[in-house]
């Protein structure tokens, strides 16, 4: 039987850990959205017993460090009803295409009528389940038939995303589990829904990465040509995420002469906050020129001052620096002949596969990519479809030597 863990508790390897959402008002100072702490046990009962003490420890240390800073409690912008917040989300969000935006608007209007336009803090699991039951029992106005599972899934995806935006704005209880998650549970005997989207993405090859670089360098009309080119070069040699490179500040880039040190900050976990080193001579020269250019480039807004990419606009409901850069790179990637088997995150898959082939141990690999050393995420996720021919061949060669070679049998009548 599968048990649902309490919100905030999850398993990291064989050990339970606690995830705490940092309050919105102090996130700019803390530099992260979440804090993760190990509960130091693989027993769920013990983990639940330690949960309260570890949570209090996080809160006390967090606010003890920042209680002297003059925070201004963020005031809700206007009303906090379903109608007002839904309209704000769909108006401000720039990561949703028009077709999806219109579909989401009709879904949210339907939920607004069902809930009588309540305050968003009044939304709970019971209301979400009642809404789904209402949807299942109400025929479609267009077809006159009950909604299909696909249509119900669209409602669930929209409302779950809406709740995450409300969490980001700090308008709902951050410790409350998303009431719209997993509301379409399978009934006994019902087959699992098949997701038509391809998820088995593979590492990107050198040929594909160089083809993407050639397209970028040869297209001067690209708005972020400079940023795109540097990002691809760094993704190839650092195993970083796109967002980590896009948000690099100049103070976190240190020129050591024969190498560069990049300090990655603001990750969701402590393991994600790490040191990345660029060792290639050409890559160091590229970074050196990029830093000089960043110092003389006028920032797009005051908060982008002293960043490696000061011209990047922030986008998405959480206003990230990698939003528009990622869209530009995805658009460029799709111009290549083969593009549906890999994406920008595939550069991490390439790096991990290379590290495995090089014989780098699990702990060092996870240290480089910013993952907990408890899980070998390299083999289970990043290198799942990678070319591991080298390490497999080396392993079989070691096996052959250890077995003292092939089996030998005496010849009988000249025949084997």
User: Are 14 and 109 contained in the same domain?
Assistant: no
The pair of structure tokens assigned to 10 is: 């999850």
Residue in this structure with the two tokens 């001579």, named with its chain if needed: 281
Is 4 inside any structural domain?
no
Model confidence pLDDT, tens digit, residues 284-337: 999 999 999 999 999 988 888 999 999 999 888 778 899 999 999 999 999 999
Count Cα atoms within 13 angstroms, Cβ side, for 185: 6
Last residue of a domain, one of 169, 195, 226: 169
Candidates 361, 351, 379; CA nearest to 203 is 351
User: Are 49 and 157 contained in the same domain?
Assistant: no
Is 182 inside any structural domain?
no
What's the CA gap between 265 and 311, in Å, rounded?
A: 20
Number of structural domains the chain divides into: 4
User: Are 330 and 399 contained in the same domain?
Assistant: no
Q: Residue 135 CB: number of other CB atoms within 10 A?
A: 21
What's the CA gap between 164 and 96, in Å, rounded?
A: 15
Is 22 inside any structural domain?
yes
First-residue to last-residue Cα distance in the chain = 55
Among 90-94, 196-200, 300-304, 399-403, the range with the most confident prediction by mean pLDDT is 300-304
What's the CA gap between 135 and 345, in Å, rounded?
A: 37
Q: What is the pLDDT of residue 16?
A: 83
Last residue of a domain, one of 121, 153, 169: 169
| Contact status, residue 309 vs residue 246, Cβ threshold 8 Å | yes
User: Are 237 and 356 contained in the same domain?
Assistant: no
Using DSSP bridges, classify how beta strands 260-264 and 274-278 pair: parallel, antiparallel or unpaired: antiparallel
Is 391 inside any structural domain?
yes
User: Are 242 and 265 contained in the same domain?
Assistant: yes
What's the CA gap between 72 and 26, in Å, rounded?
A: 9
Is 186 inside any structural domain?
no
CATH for 216: 1.10.443.10
Model confidence pLDDT, tens digit, residues 100-156: 888 899 999 999 999 999 999 999 999 999 999 999 998 887 788 888 888 888 899
Q: What is the pLDDT of residue 236?
A: 93
393-408 burial by CB neighbour count: b if 16+ within 10 A, else e? eeeeeeeeeeeeeeee
Candidates 28, 22, 12, 17; CA nearest to 61 is 22
Q: What is the pLDDT of residue 91?
A: 83
What's the CA gap between 325 and 303, in Å, rounded?
A: 17
Q: What is the pLDDT of residue 194?
A: 60
- Provide the pLDDT confidence category of residue 351 given band limits of 50, 70 and 90: confident
Candidates 316, 397, 314; CA nearest to 359 is 397
CA 390, 200, 215: angle at the middle one, nearest 5?
Answer: 80
Among 81-85, 94-98, 111-115, 333-337, name the one with the lowest average pLDDT.
94-98
Tell me if residue 89 falls in helix, strand or coil: helix
What average pLDDT does range 208-228 have in this prediction?
A: 93
Is 330 inside any structural domain?
yes
Among 76-80, 154-158, 194-198, name the one with the lowest average pLDDT.
194-198
The pair of structure tokens assigned to 69 is: 């800073």
The radius of gyration computed from the CA coordinates of the chain, to the nearest angstrom, equals 26
What's the CA gap between 78 and 92, in Å, rounded?
A: 14
User: Are 334 and 234 contained in the same domain?
Assistant: yes
Candidates 239, 238, 263, 237; CA nearest to 250 is 263
Residue in this structure with the two tokens 């080298």, named with its chain if needed: 390
User: Are 310 and 399 contained in the same domain?
Assistant: no
What average pLDDT does range 343-361 have in this prediction?
A: 86
Last residue of a domain, one of 42, 66, 90: 66
Is 415 inside any structural domain?
yes
Q: What is the pLDDT of residue 246?
A: 94
User: Are 275 and 327 contained in the same domain?
Assistant: yes
281-297 burial by CB neighbour count: b if 16+ within 10 A, else e? eebbebbeebeeebeee
Among 78-87, 249-258, 354-363, name the one with the lowest average pLDDT.
354-363
Among 4-8, 63-67, 354-358, name the one with the lowest average pLDDT.
63-67
Strand partners, 38: 17
User: Are 334 and 254 contained in the same domain?
Assistant: yes
Among 168-177, 389-398, 401-410, the range with the most confident prediction by mean pLDDT is 168-177
Is 187 inside any structural domain?
no
Taking every pair of C-alpha atoms in the chain, what is the biggest distance, in angstroms? Answer: 97
Share of the chain above pLDDT 70, in %: 78
- Structure-model confidence comparison of residues 14 and 282, the more confident one: 282
Look at residue 97 and tell me whether its pLDDT is greater than 50.
yes
Instruction: Please give the residue range of the domain that contains residue 117.
Output: 82-169
User: Are 40 and 153 contained in the same domain?
Assistant: no
Q: What is the pLDDT of residue 115?
A: 93
What's the CA gap between 411 and 208, in Å, rounded?
A: 53
| Contact status, residue 347 vs residue 274, Cβ threshold 8 Å | no
User: Are 121 and 219 contained in the same domain?
Assistant: no
Residue in this structure with the two tokens 């309050």, named with its chain if needed: 23
Q: Does the global pTM surpass 0.85?
A: no
User: Are 367 and 260 contained in the same domain?
Assistant: no
């Amino acid at each position: 039987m599968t048990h649902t863990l309490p919100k905030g508790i999850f398993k990291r390897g064989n050990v339970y850990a606690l995830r705490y959402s940092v309050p919105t008002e102090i996130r700019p100072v803390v530099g992260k959205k979440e804090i993760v702490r190990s509960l130091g046990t693989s027993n769920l009962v013990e983990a639940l017993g330690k949960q309260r003490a570890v949570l209090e420890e996080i809160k006390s240390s967090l606010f003890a460090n920042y209680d002297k800073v003059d925070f201004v409690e963020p005031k809700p912008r206007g009303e906090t009803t379903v109608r007002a917040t839904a309209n704000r989300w769909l108006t401000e969000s720039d990561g949703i295409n028009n077709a999806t935006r219109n579909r989401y608007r009709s879904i949210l209007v339907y939920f607004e009528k069902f809930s009588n336009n309540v305050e968003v803090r009044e939304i709970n699991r019971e209301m979400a389940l009642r809404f789904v039951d209402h949807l299942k029992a109400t025929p479609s106005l267009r077809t006159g038939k009950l909604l299909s599972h696909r249509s119900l899934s669209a409602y669930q995806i929209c409302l779950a995303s809406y709740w995450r935006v409300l969490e980001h704005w700090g308008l709902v209880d951050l410790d409350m589990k998303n009431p719209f998650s997993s509301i379409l549970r399978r009934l006994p005997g019902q087959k699992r829904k098949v997701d038509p989207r391809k998820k088995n993405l593979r590492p990107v090859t050198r040929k594909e990465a160089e083809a993407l670089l050639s397209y970028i360098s040869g297209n001067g009309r690209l708005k972020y040509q400079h940023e795109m080119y540097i990002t691809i070069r760094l993704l190839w040699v650092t195993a970083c995420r796109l967002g980590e490179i896009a948000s690099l500040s100049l103070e976190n880039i240190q020129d050591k002469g024969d190498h560069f040190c990049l300090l990655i900050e603001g990750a969701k976990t402590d393991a994600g906050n790490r040191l990345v080193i660029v060792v290639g001579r050409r890559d160091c020269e590229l970074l050196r020129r990029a830093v000089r250019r960043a110092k003389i480039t006028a920032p797009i807004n005051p908060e982008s001052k002293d960043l490696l990419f000061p011209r990047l606009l922030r986008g998405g409901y959480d206003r990230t620096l990698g939003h528009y850069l990622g869209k530009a790179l995805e658009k460029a990637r799709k111009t290549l002949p083969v593009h549906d088997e890999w994406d920008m995150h595939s550069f991490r898959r390439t790096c991990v596969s290379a590290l495995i082939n090089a014989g780098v141990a699990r702990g060092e690999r996870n240290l480089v990519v910013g993952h907990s050393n408890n899980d070998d995420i390299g083999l289970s996720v990043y290198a799942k479809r990678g070319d591991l021919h080298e390490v497999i061949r080396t392993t079989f060669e070691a096996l052959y030597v250890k077995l003292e070679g092939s089996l030998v049998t005496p010849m009988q009548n000249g025949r084997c």
